[in-house]
Amino acid sequence: MTGRLEGRTAVVTGGGRGIGAGIARVFAAEGARVLIATRTLKRGEEVAAAINKAGGEASAMATDVSDADQVAAMVAEARKRYGAIDIMAHNAGIFPSSTIVKMKEAEWDQVLDTNLKSLFLVCKAVLPHMTHRNYGRIVVTSSISGPRVGMPGWSHYCASKAGVNGFLKSAALEVAKKGVTINAVEPGNIQIRATGSKMAQAHEDTMKQAIPMGYLGQPEDIAYAALYLASDEARYVTGQTIVVDGGQILPESQSGIL
Q: Which is nearer to ligand NAD, 84 or 94 (CB)?
A: 94
Tell me which residue of 76, 4, 2 sits closest to 35, measured CA to CA: 76
What is the closest distance, in whole angstroms, from the C-beta atom of residue 171 to ligand NAD in the complex?
A: 17
Q: Which of 9, 10, 14, 221 binds ligand NAD (CB under 6 A)?
A: 14
**Per CB under 6 A, does 92 bind ligand NAD?**
yes
Tell me which residue of 243, 3, 40 sits closest to 15, measured CA to CA: 40
Site string for ligand NAD, 100-119 (x = CB under 6 A): --------------x-----
Q: What whole-number distance in Å separates Cα of residue 118 and Cα of residue 183?
A: 15
Q: Which is nearer to ligand NAD, 127 or 158 (CB)?
A: 158
Site string for ligand NAD, 19-48 (x = CB under 6 A): xx-----------------xxx--------
**Per CB under 6 A, does 224 bind ligand NAD?**
no
Q: Which of 9, 59, 66, 183 binds ligand NAD (CB under 6 A)?
A: 66
What is the closest distance, in whole angstroms, from the C-beta atom of residue 241 to ligand NAD in the complex?
A: 12
Query: What is the number of other CB atoms lying within 10 angstroms of the CB of residue 247?
Result: 14
Q: What whole-number distance in Å separates Cα of residue 17 and Cα of residue 257?
A: 33
Region near ligand NAD per CB under 6 A, out of 50-58, 60-68, 100-108, 176-184: 60-68
Region near ligand NAD per CB under 6 A, out of 27-35, 74-82, 85-93, 172-180: 85-93
Scan residues 121-150 and list those touching ligand NAD (CB under 6 A): 141, 143
**Given 82, 157, 215, 228, which residue is catalytic?**
157
Query: What is the number of other CB atoms lying within 10 angstroms of the CB of residue 73?
Result: 16
Site string for ligand NAD, 172-201 (x = CB under 6 A): ---------------x-xx-x---------
Query: Is 135 among the residues known to form the active site?
Result: no
C-alpha distance from residue 13 to each of 20, 35, 37, 40, 142 (Å): 7, 8, 5, 11, 13
What is the closest distance, in whole angstroms, from the C-beta atom of residue 177 to ligand NAD in the complex?
A: 29
**Which residues lie near ligand NAD (CB under 6 A)?**
13-14, 16-20, 38-40, 63-66, 91-95, 114, 141, 143, 187, 189-190, 192
Catalytic residue numbers read 157
